[in-house]
Structure 1
Amino acid sequence: MRISIPEAAPLERHISVTIPAREVESEVSQRLRSKARSARFPGFRPGKAPIALIERHYGSDALMEAFDHLINAHYSQAVREESLRPVGQPEVQVEKGGRGEDLVFTAVIEVYPEFEPQVPDATVIRKSVEVTDADVDATLDIMRQQRRFYVPVERAAQSEDRVIVDFQGTMDGTPVPGGDVTDYSVVLGSGRLLPDIEQGLSGMSVGEEKQVSVRFPDGYHTPELAGKAAQFHLQVKEVAAPQWPEVDAAFARALGIEDGEVAVLRQEVRENLEREAQRIIRGQVKTQILELIAESHHPDLPKQMVQRELERLRKDADVATNGGDLDALARRRVVLGLVMSEIARRENFWASPAEVTQVIQDMAVQYEEPEQFVSWYRSKPEQMEEAEAMVLEGKVVAWFLERVKVTDEPVSFNQLIGRAPAAAVSADS
């Protein structure tokens, strides 16, 4: 056996092996004897056909089978003896071989790079949050707004009101296609109508009629109307103001609190916000760690791994349309994968069934039927592998976090999620 490393490809290993002719012949003979025991030929009982007849019919098959077995066995032996870590399957080239000849083959493989994981001299910012009563109130206000209802009012329409309107559009006296609508319901400010029509409706009262000039945008979805001017006749039939439910027992029961206890609802909202805050903080820390890993490690990259990652990225429509450098992104992902795998290997990290289950359950919380999600997730092997990878990734991130400088930065919940403080919604608004 001889192993060579091409100068231009430091991660390639060319394993050249010569298998003596006697070993080849022994393997072929063994396979021919095995075939002879079950072979059936006219005039001969099973297993009694002459070996010459067996060779004539099965000699080529037996030789190919012997080659496959011997190549796999000697290749595996070479990998074990040399402590090689192949990235993928070998490319095998048979240089010489046949009955009565030595079998000579070369297996070309890529191996994982040898490198020492580095802990960069850097600082990770870890934000900390205390969820306040005001955060709970703001979240309840959002939940109230999501359950708003409308009450007819006797005043002019304004932003956020729901208006029921009839409208007819004409262009040079000709009806606009699709421009004659009855009892159309729209919330002012929602952007569902052309801006000129929404502006025209603002300030109108029930029973009022108005003629407004409208210009269709240049990129309007109906090409024959794009950039054209038209006239719309509006007739308001109802104006309704938004109302929000009070935070009371009925509201709590509507949100799944069986006994209607508002205090229980508030506690549940607080716990959800705290979980969300921790999820965001972990994600921000992980992003910083991954960036430090990518910047501080520059191992040789196996071509097969880069190519596989490129193929995955090209299948991902979201990544492909970002206009970024796919090759650079693929190489970055391979670096991260190599570093994390190396640390997991050195530290003997592994994903226990309980840890994998916890990851899946954490994902399931956001679904209405968590148990159904868990069952579906477990039914797909590739998803289970992804969950295991997430466990290992978390352990490696924690390993780095113990070894870099960490600065805790207190922030408000709104700062953490990038949301401006919302104005409170009054119960009678």
Structure 2
Amino acid sequence: MQAQLETLGQLERRLDFAIPSADIETAVDARLKKVARNARIQGFRPGKAPMKLVAANYGMQVREEVLGEQVQSAFAKAVQAQALRVAGFPRFEGKPAEGDAFNFSATFEVYPEVVVGDLSGKEIERPVLAVTDAEVDKTIEILRKQRTRFDRVERAAEKGDRVIVDFKGTIDGVAFAGGSSENYAFQAGEGQMLPEFDSAVLGMKEGDSKTFDLSFPAEYQGKEVAGKTAQFEVSVKNVAGAQVPELDSEFAKLLGIADGDVAKLRAEIRKNVEREVKRRLTARAKEAVMQALLEVSPIEVPRALIGQEIGRLVENAKQEMQQRGFDPKDMPFPQELFEEQAKRRVSLGLILAEVVRANGLQAKPEQITAIVEEFAESYEHPEDVVKWYYASRDRLEGPEALALEDNVVEFVFAKAKTVEKQLAFDELMGQQA
């Protein structure tokens, strides 16, 4: 079989090839004989119908099947002979027959040649943060505040109190969308409301009412009221003081320390904080490395692979919306929204594969085991989690991918100019100081 390859673009190719008619006819005859063994044709017992009737009833279907298989097989052989790496699925077209052969063309893309750029001159920041007692104390304070109890008080509202109010806002005497509510609860003075609203409520007691003006900022998210002044009527229905639990044995038991030992609680919290800090530092370092690889290794990405990745991203988005209780049928998912993300993911996949291949960075069994055991640490029975992962090869794909990425990260940091960047705990954890 002869095949002719034509370059249509940087990655696009067209392969013209022919299949001898005799090969098609031989395959069709052989397939019809198999069909004839069990063919059900009216007036004949199964498998006893004449071949002429079998061909009349099944010939067209058999020919289409054989032709499709022959085209795929011929294309695969031609691609192998030309040493081509096909990206995505080819588009086949039949061409006019010439002599004793069927002619076809296949249009497709090929994988790009990936050349990883020079990393030696690339400066990459590596975030660092050591967990100290201060970070443990801050985490404990957050956990205490999360378990705050509010008790009704007969006094004026103070900063941190939970207040329940009815309010109604108007602009030039006209009510506006979102400007009214009943039994609305918030913590006074904690920035949950606009400053003027907070200031008005602070100092009010249960049963008090007040009218005040409030100026909405020009950049306020509600465009219809942004930059305007509204008049609010507010009535306080309840004031409750915050009761933050003490750091004692009862609090320790509340957080799962059976004997109420506060020292054990601090040790457990430190362990959890260190685990989370490590996870976030790793994620930031990985992102910095991936960006560096993209910048030093520009490549042309096959459109076919981008399209496939967009399909996966759209499907993931739909599943996420379903989990949140929304019907994805009611929401548009325009593919162009996912294109840049898809292109980046495909580019990184190709670059990472080349970095791993060229430098022998495949994940080692002990690395995978360490990651699985780290995953299992946060569970009550870690040994059961480890067994679950190792019960199926498919379940180890995630830990294996993480180990591989870790290898790439360390490799790149070793090659590049690494600059350590000390991060604040609040910055890393996404908290306000």
Please state which band the TM-score falls in when normalised by the shorter chain.
0.7 to 0.9
Aligned match of 1:249? 249
Counterpart selection for 2:412 from 397, 400, 404: 400
Aligned match of 1:146? 146
Superposed CA offset, 1:43-100 (max 9, x none): 54443433323322222222222212211222222233333211112211222459x9
What stretches of structure 1 of length at least 5 have no aligned partner? 422-429
User: Cα RMSD over matched residues?
Assistant: 4.7
Deviation, structure 1 residue 27 = 0.7
Aligned match of 1:108? 107
Q: 1:153 to 1:55 in 2, by over 3 A?
A: closer
Superposed CA offset, 1:160-190 (max 9, x none): 1234567788999999999695x76543135
Aligned match of 2:323? none
Structure 2 SS opposite 1:306? helix
Superposed CA offset, 1:185-210 (max 9, x none): 54313566676554333223466x44
Counterpart selection for 2:352 from 322, 340, 346: 340
Q: Whole-Å Cα distance in 2 between the matches of residues 180 and 303 of structure 1?
A: 51
Q: 1:363 to 1:39 in 2, by over 3 A?
A: same
Aligned match of 1:291? 291
Q: Whole-Å Cα distance in 2 between the matches of residues 403 and 174 of structure 1?
A: 65
Larger radius of gyration: 1
Aligned match of 1:305? 305
Superposed CA offset, 1:93-117 (max 9, x none): 222459x942222222211112332
Aligned match of 1:34? 34
Mapping of residues 400-419 of structure 1, within 5 Å: 400-411=412-423, 413-414=425-426, 416-417=428-429
| Equivalent pair of 1:92/1:106 in contact (CA under 8 Å) | yes
TM-score, normalised with respect to structure 1? 0.75
Q: 1:23 to 1:173 in 2, by over 3 A?
A: closer
Deviation, structure 1 residue 252 = 0.4
Deviation, structure 1 residue 309 = 4.3
Matched, 1:232 2:272: no
TM-score, normalised with respect to structure 2? 0.75
Structure 2 SS opposite 1:126? strand
Question: Mean alpha-carbon deviation: is it higher for 260-269 or for 307-316?
Answer: 307-316
Deviation, structure 1 residue 295 = 0.8
Which amino acid in structure 1 is aligned with residue 102 of structure 2?
L
| Equivalent pair of 1:4/1:15 in contact (CA under 8 Å) | yes
Among the aligned pairs, what percent are the same residue?
34
Aligned match of 2:130? 130
Q: 1:201 to 1:79 in 2, by over 3 A?
A: same
Q: 1:387 to 1:68 in 2, by over 3 A?
A: farther
| Equivalent pair of 1:164/1:185 in contact (CA under 8 Å) | yes
| Equivalent pair of 1:167/1:179 in contact (CA under 8 Å) | yes
Aligned match of 1:426? none
Aligned match of 1:88? 88
Q: 1:409 to 1:58 in 2, by over 3 A?
A: closer
| Equivalent pair of 1:96/1:102 in contact (CA under 8 Å) | no
| Equivalent pair of 2:289/2:413 in contact (CA under 8 Å) | yes
Question: Mean alpha-carbon deviation: is it higher for 110-119 or for 303-312?
Answer: 303-312
Aligned match of 1:56? 56
| Equivalent pair of 1:252/1:260 in contact (CA under 8 Å) | yes
Deviation, structure 1 residue 304 = 1.4
Structure 2 SS opposite 1:114? coil
Q: 1:312 to 1:34 in 2, by over 3 A?
A: closer
Aligned match of 1:427? none
Q: Whole-Å Cα distance in 1 between the matches of residues 97 and 238 of structure 2?
A: 90
Which amino acid in structure 1 is aligned with residue 407 of structure 2?
K
Deviation, structure 1 residue 409 = 4.5
Structure 2 SS opposite 1:117? coil
Aligned match of 1:120? 119
Q: 1:44 to 1:129 in 2, by over 3 A?
A: closer
Aligned match of 2:4? 3
Q: Whole-Å Cα distance in 1 between the matches of residues 36 and 398 of structure 2?
A: 48
Q: Whole-Å Cα distance in 1 between the matches of residues 314 and 90 of structure 2?
A: 25
Question: Mean alpha-carbon deviation: is it higher for 335-344 or for 365-374?
Answer: 365-374
